[in-house]
A and B are shown apart, each in its own frame.
Chain A
């Protein structure tokens, strides 16, 4: 706990207000600056020959025809780039036992998934690069692919990496209490189910994009990057391209969505940087949609066999499950592909007071695209499994699903507490959220509507979800395991001569409104009008050092750093003002760009006058005054490994039992993300997340055939949710500020994505229950619903 605790004692003008973000107008005017908008002198364009096979030996590569095509400047094979790029391995020391093989930007000798880059062409235009790529003949010798996760560990399944004895990447068991005894006890009903989660990917509006420039005279690489974590990428490029870290600058201007897709080490992007270095010319690579679908990380893809035990009174005695997940042929660098499974082990059932728990996860290599962290990592799986079990248990003992939650949710006054899996929780509000949810949705009226609809042969269902989300992580997430990932963030606030503030921060803007909330915090805490704050993020050269955007941490960690920095600058400015005004700093305040009397509010001097005095006419100040009109503060979470947040959601659906189609009639979300900095932005984050969760629940699935060929690689057949099908999403808040910071903000950005799938699954099964049907495989497509009903 740190920092001033007083800023919310008096009304502030901006924190908590639904301010319109200034970037919105700029972006709507088409003035955004995305990586593809960059055109640098002498810039070249890259295209890649990608493996058409899931698994194949690369026997030879013939580039003769391609090399002489007009416009072609360079062609690199995996072996060529291996000379200039140190391979990387996606393991972390705290993920004990996790193994992976060294990975090269372009496949060397063996290609291990369909879409893996094999040869890079650099040409004057992208079209010419693609023409040349077509002429390159790669002689592949197809190998048997590992595509069925349930057979990946079988004796007779080929092992993807020679150096390993099996395709197992990682395995972990978490155990608490005595689950066997709990399940065997008298009066305990044990229910078991298999839950299957399809492969998804986070479809960003702007695809992955890179422009790399290298200046051999200074040995400097500048990497323009559509991404989330500039400082992490700075380290990665430096280390693997053999550069000094301070000679690598990573710049993210506007980013058209990321969702966890743009925070990993992609071979084509590393190759782009390597080519720029080898050629001494800028090189651009923009992933096209097909490349996005076959190489942007995938996620989910879990099969979970789970059990829950419940007494006749509705007390949950324990949860047990086995999780099997097939990642790509490597663990993704540097965040690894085992975090998702780990989150599922840690978070399943976290909202509930559960004493007995046993869960095992096995993470196996497969010849499919790489898997890694996508928005709400592990959460939708953990939540759907736990709450799927909870609602099944309620049905089995004839109890209302709200009632069973009331009996088992952690009490609002039990904090701090520790879950069965060892997670330290504080400042949560499950019961308050559930109560607000029930009121908002008018649960009893819905049940009446559901019953009335049944009489008309219309099958409606209500599904709930209670949620615990990981947000604001401490170094315990990555740093502890040796990853080059900052968990702290910094903010700098500077008063300029004109009286405006320039602020910069190491958290990044992906389109979610980071820059807007940074400005609100700075303006609110320091005391200027919002439009007098300019924000810079996304540049390793000009911002403080920090982690960027991931794990719902921007507002909570970067926001707190901004609060502290703005507060510090305010103190510094008032100290100068006190000297100029020959008064006491404590008797002054800053409001709307002016120094005023703290009591009475009479104007004393404008910030601009003060700053101009300092900057231009220092001679008017006493010699021993050393005015500092800039302040920097950093912040990290120290008391807890993570600042967990919580919420509750509900869906009301109608299932057409003839077609298997599900219509979402309504959706409600109650979220406790601590202090809400901008309710408009938070609500839209939650709505957007819910929509993404609806995608995972009903539409989205990467489909591979038995040869490991991805069958849906365009927006026409990988279905993302669209506006016409989306329900109104009602968002409400419970605000329990975290005590770990003065700002009190927790994360909210992943809530909807985490909670919506489970709520929908429960709602669909509530609708189907009278027919004895149940769907526990996502996405819950019409065909799966029809199969559950025994119609097909």
Chain B
């Protein structure tokens, strides 16, 4: 279980990192909590490893008018300690205790989770439920992609290979928005068996994780929840593209999706983090 040979680069500015990515066959190292095991299992074998940890300015949480801008290298632990997150991104605050364990949260980054797009990870669904944008940069420029359009499949995203996730832009929720989050994990800190994040305000957004090959919006459930009809919302999950895993078949995933939706709704509240 040793990684194959690779070249290690530790640029100190974003431009240098982008240039390395443009050369091809490179992977960036953020918190390393997923990438290092994948390399050691030889499931990931980049020629060049571009360590982002010495680049200033990629981490941090800032208020920018009606949005929060979260640097890609912001660690879970820093999100957990942030008043801005607690106030303006209460879904993230609620979900954080469920994401892995303290040691992993000390290293793991929001950008890493977004770029990895694990189907059972919380962050993609949270960003979808919050209507977030993902900022990407490459040597040829910069663009923003809505979270809804970013997560495409199993570990598959709209990010091109030479693009760096630089920021996550989270709009502040409209006053009075209800937020709910619930996940079922067999052991605390594990990737979930089923989970959901919901935001019900002017817009209604319901995003599931760990039930399909990527995080999923649930349009029928959203329509039902807009009128507060949780039964109809749960019934509206029929058409979602559920995927089995070795411990839960499609029927179980579907059933558990309904359960987490009801529980997230029951536990939802307005205002900042209450979890």
Asked if A781 is an interface residue, CB under 8 A from chain B, the answer is yes
In the bound assembly, the distance between CA atoms of A689 and B247 in angstroms comes to: 25
In the bound assembly, the distance between CA atoms of A782 and B246 in angstroms comes to: 12
- A711 nearest CB neighbor, chain B only: B246
Complex interface: chain A residues within 8 A of B247 (CB): 781-783
CB-based contact A782/B252 at 8 Å: yes
Interface pick from B1-9, B56-64, B83-91? B1-9
With contacts A781-B247, A783-B248, A783-B249 taken as known, whether A131 is within 8 angstroms of B255 at the C-beta atoms is no
- B40 nearest CB neighbor, chain A only: A288
Asked if A63 is an interface residue, CB under 8 A from chain B, the answer is no
In the bound assembly, the distance between CA atoms of A394 and B138 in angstroms comes to: 70
Interface pick from A3-11, A719-727, A747-755? A719-727
Interface pick from B73-81, B142-150, B158-166, B186-194? B186-194
Asked if A130 is an interface residue, CB under 8 A from chain B, the answer is yes
Asked if B223 is an interface residue, CB under 8 A from chain A, the answer is no
CB-based contact A288/B1 at 8 Å: yes
CB-based contact B252/A792 at 8 Å: yes
Complex interface: chain B residues within 8 A of A699 (CB): 186-187
Complex interface: chain B residues within 8 A of A40 (CB): none
In the bound assembly, the distance between CA atoms of A289 and B37 in angstroms comes to: 11
In the bound assembly, the distance between CA atoms of A699 and B186 in angstroms comes to: 8
Asked if B155 is an interface residue, CB under 8 A from chain A, the answer is no
Asked if A140 is an interface residue, CB under 8 A from chain B, the answer is no
- Shortest distance in angstroms between B266's beta carbon and chain A's nearest beta carbon? 12
- A130 nearest CB neighbor, chain B only: B2
Produce 1/0 per residue, A706-739, CB < 8 A to B.
Answer: 0000011010110101101100000000000000
In the bound assembly, the distance between CA atoms of A290 and B40 in angstroms comes to: 11
Asked if A786 is an interface residue, CB under 8 A from chain B, the answer is yes
- B194 nearest CB neighbor, chain A only: A659
One of A127, A289, A716, A792 near B2 (C-beta < 8 A)? A127
CB-based contact A126/B189 at 8 Å: no
One of A714, A716, A722 near B188 (C-beta < 8 A)? A722
Known A131-B5, A661-B184, A724-B189; further 11 A-B contacts with Cβ < 8 A: A127-B5, A130-B1, A130-B2, A131-B4, A289-B1, A659-B256, A714-B37, A719-B190, A781-B186, A782-B193, A782-B256
Complex interface: chain B residues within 8 A of A724 (CB): 187-189
CB-based contact A783/B252 at 8 Å: yes
In the bound assembly, the distance between CA atoms of A722 and B101 in angstroms comes to: 12
Asked if A82 is an interface residue, CB under 8 A from chain B, the answer is no
CB-based contact B248/A658 at 8 Å: no
CB-based contact A782/B259 at 8 Å: no
Complex interface: chain B residues within 8 A of A781 (CB): 186, 247
Could you list 7 examples of A-B contacts with CB < 8 Å? A127-B2, A127-B5, A290-B41, A661-B186, A719-B186, A722-B189, A724-B189
In the bound assembly, the distance between CA atoms of A786 and B184 in angstroms comes to: 14
Asked if A703 is an interface residue, CB under 8 A from chain B, the answer is yes
- Shortest distance in angstroms between A305's beta carbon and chain B's nearest beta carbon? 25
Asked if A791 is an interface residue, CB under 8 A from chain B, the answer is yes
CB-based contact A782/B186 at 8 Å: yes
- A126 nearest CB neighbor, chain B only: B2
Complex interface: chain A residues within 8 A of B1 (CB): 130, 288-290
In the bound assembly, the distance between CA atoms of A717 and B190 in angstroms comes to: 9
- Shortest distance in angstroms between A413's beta carbon and chain B's nearest beta carbon? 45
Asked if B251 is an interface residue, CB under 8 A from chain A, the answer is yes
With contacts A131-B4, A786-B255 taken as known, whether A712 is within 8 angstroms of B246 at the C-beta atoms is yes
- Shortest distance in angstroms between B235's beta carbon and chain A's nearest beta carbon? 16
- A289 nearest CB neighbor, chain B only: B1
In the bound assembly, the distance between CA atoms of A62 and B15 in angstroms comes to: 45
In the bound assembly, the distance between CA atoms of A792 and B2 in angstroms comes to: 42
- B193 nearest CB neighbor, chain A only: A782
Quick one: which of A649-668 are within 8 Å of B by CB?
Answer: 658-659, 661
In the bound assembly, the distance between CA atoms of A725 and B252 in angstroms comes to: 22
In the bound assembly, the distance between CA atoms of A711 and B246 in angstroms comes to: 8
- B45 nearest CB neighbor, chain A only: A134
- Shortest distance in angstroms between B196's beta carbon and chain A's nearest beta carbon? 13
- Shortest distance in angstroms between A693's beta carbon and chain B's nearest beta carbon? 16
- Shortest distance in angstroms between A438's beta carbon and chain B's nearest beta carbon? 31
Produce 1/0 per residue, B199-210, CB < 8 A to A.
Answer: 000000000000
- Shortest distance in angstroms between A786's beta carbon and chain B's nearest beta carbon? 6
In the bound assembly, the distance between CA atoms of A130 and B2 in angstroms comes to: 7
Quick one: which of A690-710 are within 8 Å of B by CB?
Answer: 698-699, 703
In the bound assembly, the distance between CA atoms of A659 and B256 in angstroms comes to: 6
CB-based contact B251/A725 at 8 Å: no
- B262 nearest CB neighbor, chain A only: A658
In the bound assembly, the distance between CA atoms of A126 and B4 in angstroms comes to: 11
In the bound assembly, the distance between CA atoms of A783 and B186 in angstroms comes to: 11
Complex interface: chain A residues within 8 A of B249 (CB): 783, 792
Quick one: which of A101-143 are within 8 Å of B by CB?
Answer: 125-127, 130-131, 134
Complex interface: chain B residues within 8 A of A714 (CB): 37, 41
In the bound assembly, the distance between CA atoms of A131 and B252 in angstroms comes to: 41
CB-based contact B252/A786 at 8 Å: yes
- Shortest distance in angstroms between B191's beta carbon and chain A's nearest beta carbon? 8
In the bound assembly, the distance between CA atoms of A167 and B184 in angstroms comes to: 41
Quick one: which of A524-548 are within 8 Å of B by CB?
Answer: none
- Shortest distance in angstroms between B105's beta carbon and chain A's nearest beta carbon? 15
- Shortest distance in angstroms between B193's beta carbon and chain A's nearest beta carbon? 7
Quick one: which of A285-312 are within 8 Å of B by CB?
Answer: 288-290
In the bound assembly, the distance between CA atoms of A426 and B106 in angstroms comes to: 55
Quick one: which of A745-792 are within 8 Å of B by CB?
Answer: 781-783, 786, 791-792
- Shortest distance in angstroms between B140's beta carbon and chain A's nearest beta carbon? 35
Produce 1/0 per residue, B244-265, CB < 8 A to A.
Answer: 0011110110011001000000
Complex interface: chain B residues within 8 A of A783 (CB): 247-249, 252
- Shortest distance in angstroms between B10's beta carbon and chain A's nearest beta carbon? 21
Complex interface: chain A residues within 8 A of B252 (CB): 782-783, 786, 792
- Shortest distance in angstroms between B231's beta carbon and chain A's nearest beta carbon? 14
CB-based contact A127/B3 at 8 Å: yes
Complex interface: chain A residues within 8 A of B188 (CB): 722, 724-725
Complex interface: chain B residues within 8 A of A711 (CB): 246
In the bound assembly, the distance between CA atoms of A134 and B187 in angstroms comes to: 35
Complex interface: chain A residues within 8 A of B193 (CB): 782
In the bound assembly, the distance between CA atoms of A237 and B187 in angstroms comes to: 42
In the bound assembly, the distance between CA atoms of A736 and B246 in angstroms comes to: 46
One of B187, B246, B255, B256 near A722 (C-beta < 8 A)? B187
Complex interface: chain B residues within 8 A of A661 (CB): 184, 186
In the bound assembly, the distance between CA atoms of A717 and B37 in angstroms comes to: 14
In the bound assembly, the distance between CA atoms of A126 and B37 in angstroms comes to: 16
In the bound assembly, the distance between CA atoms of A714 and B256 in angstroms comes to: 25
Q: Which 6 pairs show the lowest CB-CB distances between chains A and B? A: A288-B1, A127-B2, A724-B188, A792-B251, A783-B252, A722-B187
CB-based contact A725/B187 at 8 Å: yes
- Shortest distance in angstroms between A703's beta carbon and chain B's nearest beta carbon? 5
Produce 1/0 per residue, A656-686, CB < 8 A to B.
Answer: 0011010000000000000000000000000
CB-based contact A659/B186 at 8 Å: no
Produce 1/0 per residue, B1-24, CB < 8 A to A.
Answer: 111110000000000000000000
In the bound assembly, the distance between CA atoms of A714 and B189 in angstroms comes to: 16
CB-based contact B184/A659 at 8 Å: yes
One of A134, A719, A722, A782 near B248 (C-beta < 8 A)? A782
Complex interface: chain A residues within 8 A of B259 (CB): 658-659
Complex interface: chain A residues within 8 A of B186 (CB): 661, 698-699, 719, 725, 781-782
Q: Which of A125, A699, A714, A722 is most buried by chain B, counting CB atoms within 10 A of its CB?
A: A722
- A721 nearest CB neighbor, chain B only: B187
- Shortest distance in angstroms between A651's beta carbon and chain B's nearest beta carbon? 17
In the bound assembly, the distance between CA atoms of A511 and B2 in angstroms comes to: 27
Complex interface: chain B residues within 8 A of A126 (CB): 2
- Shortest distance in angstroms between A329's beta carbon and chain B's nearest beta carbon? 23
Complex interface: chain A residues within 8 A of B191 (CB): 716
